[in-house]
Amino acid sequence: MGKDVIIALDFDSKEKTLAFLDRFTGEKPFVKIGMELFYAEGPSIVREIKARGHKIFLDLKLHDIPNTVKKAMAVLSSLDVDMVNLHAAGTRAMMSAALEGLTRADGTRPLLIAVTQLTSTSQQSMEEEIGIHAPLENVVIDYAKNARLAGLDGVVCSPLEAGRIHEACAKDFLTVTPGIRFADAKADDQVRITTPAKAREIGSDYIVVGRPITQAEDPVAAYRRCVSEFVG
């Protein structure tokens, strides 16, 4: 599977989202629908964007008891998205149940990836607020190993951790990495970040890019810059 840039559609309405996508007349970018847009518009926005020909990463980060997650994943699978996720902190039992629920009767399913630690989490906040007293990168690796053992396809992680995750899990274990900023852009609320070019060098399989594209003066040009720097 080749590298790709996923645009985070961080909008609060169908109108804003479709107006943004209408600017892309020469390509159909892989897009991410997160909580804000999904909660505002519901499953219909997923169907509409899919009908336009876009690949979709449905980023809802499920985290609940195994049976609840299994049933929820069955519903999400029916939306014909290409990738979904959950929190690795839910344990292998939850991840295995999610995989079971996600798999359709014909054996097909979207890619399933696990969130390790959010890219807004620092070593200090993890220790002081979450109560995990270990090097952050080691915690991420442990989460990734659990996801691999549960049969998942990959993880969401900082691009800074992508190389080590491939070493610990497998080269074909996907690393989907937010926390991407251009070298000449501000970090916003992200902590563990890097550039598209550096993410490529480290080994990310997909990069997820929101504000540097969606808030750019020319989003199409910003997207193409991302693709050029990351995919080549």
Residues annotated catalytic, as ranges: 61
CA–CA separation, 56 vs 21, rounded Å? 13
Contacts of 226 (CB under 8 A, 6+ apart): 5, 180, 196, 207, 209, 212, 213
CA–CA separation, 2 vs 152, rounded Å? 18
Q: Dihedral sign for Cα 28, 57, 226, 41, please.
A: positive
CA–CA separation, 54 vs 81, rounded Å? 9
Nearest to 153 by CA among 66, 82, 227: 82
Alpha helices in the chain (DSSP H): 14-21, 35-41, 43-51, 66-77, 91-102, 123-125, 136-149, 162-168, 196-202, 211-214, 219-230
Q: Are 49 and 75 in contact (CB under 8 A)?
A: no
Strands 174-177 and 83-87, sheet pairing: unpaired
Q: Are 85 and 116 in contact (CB under 8 A)?
A: no
Contacts of 64 (CB under 8 A, 6+ apart): 72, 90, 94
